[in-house]
Amino acid sequence: MITGKICLPTGKTKIVGVFGYPIKHSLSPAMHNSAFKHCNLDFIYIPFEVKPDNLKDAIKSLIALNINGINLTIPHKEACLPYLDEIKREAKLIGAVNTIEVIRPRKLGTPKLIGHNTDSLGFIRSLKEFNINLRDKTVLILGAGGAAKAVCFACVLNGIKEIYIVNRTLKKADILAENLKNKTNFKNIFSIPLEDTHLKNILEKTNLFVNATSVGMKKNDPLIVPVDYLNKKTIVYDLIYNPDRTKLLKFAKKKGCFTINGESMLVHQGALSYEIWTKKNAPVEVMRKALRKALNG
């Protein structure tokens, strides 16, 4: 890498990046390129706009173009599975891959594409940052989409007591609950609709409340659960990072709850991808600072 004010790649520079559609607003290039620069690693992280119809060819091109690894974001996290050689346990459980590692044999042999999912462990690492342990906790997850799935598996694999999946579309919560039960053998999983009358009682006993829906991203989004029943001892985690304080977090803070936003999980899932590709510890604080700058800039 030729350094100076601008870093230019050379023939020796290792290439990583992200495939997504759309991709223009991805914050990952800022996070990773700052980390590489800080650690003096000759890597570059490039965002690639890959339309769904081109995903298969794009994944094949990782080998042809000698790319070292790639992140996958919307809408490719599940669609990529058939094109990989090996899928790690967490990714297999979640049914989604957000990081591909390209392993090239030192001498002869064909390169292999390994699929990882760093969202789940990213969530756990973000909790560790705040000294939060999931053991024996009652967890309420709001939402049943991709983000909720990664958080649910993280919770179930880390010793929680019980988990309530609350979703607008009950069928999706039911499917996620069944999937979790079948794949993990953990049975204390309950799916309930948003308007369930028991929600008040569940909120009162919840230790960790996670918003894994997109509700809260827009200024006028409503509070979709009866948050008046939140216990002040409940930790309220909103996976949304923009805005940094959603209506839910503001309300919870006023109530006296400990609150966390989505920035930390985003940084840690990125840090884990960095570690998979470079085999070195990620400079988490550098990545966090770059993320904040990209968000505000």
Kindly indicate which of the ranges 11-19, 47-55, 125-133, 207-215 contains the residues binding ligand ATR, using the contact rule CB under 6 A: 207-215
Kindly indicate which of the ranges 35-43, 55-63, 83-91, 142-150 contains the residues binding ligand ATR, using the contact rule CB under 6 A: 142-150
Q: Is 77 a catalytic residue?
A: yes
Catalytic residue among 5, 56, 77, 92: 77
- Residue from 68, 167, 234, 246 touching ligand ATR (CB under 6 A): that is 167
Residue whose CB is less far from ligand ATR, 97 or 282: 97
Q: Quick check: 224 binds ligand ATR (CB under 6 A)?
A: yes
- Residue from 69, 115, 143, 283 touching ligand ATR (CB under 6 A): that is 143
- Residue from 168, 205, 245, 255 touching ligand ATR (CB under 6 A): that is 168
DSSP the chain: -B-SSS-B--TT-EEEEEEESS-TT-SHHHHHHHHHHHTT--EEEEEEE--GGGHHHHHHHHHHTT--EEEE-TT-TTTTGGG-SEE-HHHHHHT--SEEEEE--SSSS--EEEEE--HHHHHHHHHHHTT---TT-EEEEE--SHHHHHHHHHHHTTT-SEEEEEESSHHHHHHHHHHHHHHH----EEEEETT-TTHHHHHHH-SEEEE-SSTTSSTTPPP-S-GGG--TT-EEEE---SSSS-HHHHHHHHHT-EEE-THHHHHHHHHHHHHHHHSS---HHHHHHHHHHHHH-
Site map for ligand ATR, 105-134, x if CB under 6 A? Answer: ------------------------------
Q: Which residues are catalytic?
A: 77
Interface ranges with ligand ATR (CB under 6 A): 143-148, 167-169, 172, 212-215, 224
